[in-house]
């Protein structure tokens, strides 16, 4: 049983495209597998649950099991996330936000690598509008850095609340009750809180990286991918809270100082003054990034170009195809 999780909140106009990208994966690459679909809705007021139900009526036989977890009241991303994780039946799964898309490449080829590793870090591309892929190479510096953040550096970066492993896939067996309870202490930093707690419990984690798009992130006025959105501002405050929670548990005086430094840097991101926001670049995470860039800048530049140049055309076409699928079916918001 392979599980697809789609989380939704007021995304009736785009969640069907996310579901269509799931259908695409099953039809193109999922032969011989059984699938569970979990769709969570966090108290949407725009008809998202009805849109999802309508899509499922035209998807009979696609899933062996379907779980619709629709909350009446908004509880936050983390509550939505943990509720879905508790309903996963199999060991292999992936989580997709309702405004994003799975890339047009075989996701099972990547998740099958969990036979050899505990976590697989994956790449992504960003898009806006009608499949317009963000093609500036520097946009994906943090993505390809996952190939070089390993061992003690990886654990330090995750404990500092850094945006690494955002689209990583991992085994369900790593999700202890302690991990789930820790995630529930926040509202928006579900993935960072998850990885922070997993790596605290399991220092021997084996991690690999695949420089191929796994997810296509939609940039909109309200998405976390938009650095000026209210959601992103809340997210930055949550990252600061994540550092604060880690600092309270930390025994090393040096690392407590680094966590305090990173916490303040995350707070600077929410400042209204552009000059204050510049101080976010003086943080432990940017020191890590700069150090890795100095050591591996040629390989990093090559990987950035590879990620964009090899995949942007097909990913752009896929975005348009998913939108056309929902439009033709009459199910789009």
d(CA 75, CA 77) in angstroms, rounded, equals: 7
| Model confidence, pTM | 0.89
Q: Name, in order, each residue with C-beta under 8 angstroms of 30's C-beta and a sequence gap of 6 or more.
A: 2, 108
What is residue 229's predicted lDDT score, i.e. its pLDDT? 57
- For the chain of 333 residues, list the mean pLDDT of each consecutive stretch of 10: 96 95 97 96 95 93 96 91 95 95 97 94 90 93 90 83 82 95 90 89 89 93 56 76 86 89 73 56 80 94 97 96 74 37
For residue 27, how far is the Cα from the chain centroid?
A: 23
What is residue 107's predicted lDDT score, i.e. its pLDDT? 97
What is residue 332's predicted lDDT score, i.e. its pLDDT? 37
d(CA 248, CA 145) in angstroms, rounded, equals: 28
For residue 308 the two structure tokens come to 């964009």
> Which DSSP letter does residue 222 get?
S
What is residue 328's predicted lDDT score, i.e. its pLDDT? 47
Angle, nearest 10°, between helix axes 284-329 and 253-268?
50
Which residue carries 């880690």 as its tokens? 246
What is residue 305's predicted lDDT score, i.e. its pLDDT? 98
Q: Confirm if 77 and 188 have CB atoms less than 8 A apart.
A: yes
Q: Name, in order, each residue with C-beta under 8 angstroms of 61's C-beta and a sequence gap of 6 or more.
A: none
Decide: helix, strand or coil at residue 41. strand
What is residue 269's predicted lDDT score, i.e. its pLDDT? 60
Q: Which domains does the chain have, with CATH numbers?
A: 2-329 (3.90.550.10)
For residue 1 the two structure tokens come to 């049983």
């Amino acid at each position: 049983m392979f599980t697809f999780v789609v989380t939704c909140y007021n995304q009736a106009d785009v969640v069907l495209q996310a579901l269509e990208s799931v259908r695409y994966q099953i039809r193109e690459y999922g032969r011989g597998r059984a699938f569970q679909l979990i769709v969570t809705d966090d108290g949407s007021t725009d008809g998202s649950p009805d849109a999802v139900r309508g899509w499922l009526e035209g998807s009979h036989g696609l899933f062996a099991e379907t779980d619709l977890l629709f909350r009446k009241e908004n509880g936050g991303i983390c509550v939505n996330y943990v509720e879905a994780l508790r309903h996963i039946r199999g060991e292999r799964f992936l989580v997709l936000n309702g405004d994003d898309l799975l890339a047009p490449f075989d996701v099972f080829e990547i998740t099958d690598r969990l036979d050899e590793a505990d976590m697989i870090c994956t790449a992504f591309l960003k898009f806006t509008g009608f499949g317009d892929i963000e093609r500036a190479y520097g946009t994906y510096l943090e993505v390809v850095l996952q190939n070089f953040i390993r061992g003690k550096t990886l654990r330090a970066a995750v404990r500092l609340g850094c945006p690494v492993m955002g689209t990583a896939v991992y085994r369900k067996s790593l999700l202890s009750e302690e991990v789930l309870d820790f995630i529930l202490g926040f509202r928006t930093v579900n993935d960072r809180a998850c990885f922070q707690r997993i790596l605290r419990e399991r220092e021997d984690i084996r991690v690999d990286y695949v420089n191929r798009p796994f997810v296509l992130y939609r940039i909109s006025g309200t998405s976390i991918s938009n650095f000026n959105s209210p959601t992103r501002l809340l997210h930055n405050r949550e990252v600061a809270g994540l550092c604060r929670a880690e600092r309270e548990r930390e025994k090393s005086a040096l690392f407590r100082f680094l966590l305090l430094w990173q916490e303040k840097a995350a707070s600077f991101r929410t400042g209204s003054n552009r000059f204050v926001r510049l101080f976010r670049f003086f943080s432990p995470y940017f020191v890590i990034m700069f150090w890795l860039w100095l050591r591996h800048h040629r390989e990093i530049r090559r990987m950035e170009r590879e990620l964009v140049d090899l995949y942007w055309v097909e990913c752009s076409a896929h975005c348009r195809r998913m939108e056309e699928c929902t439009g033709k079916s009459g199910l789009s918001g």
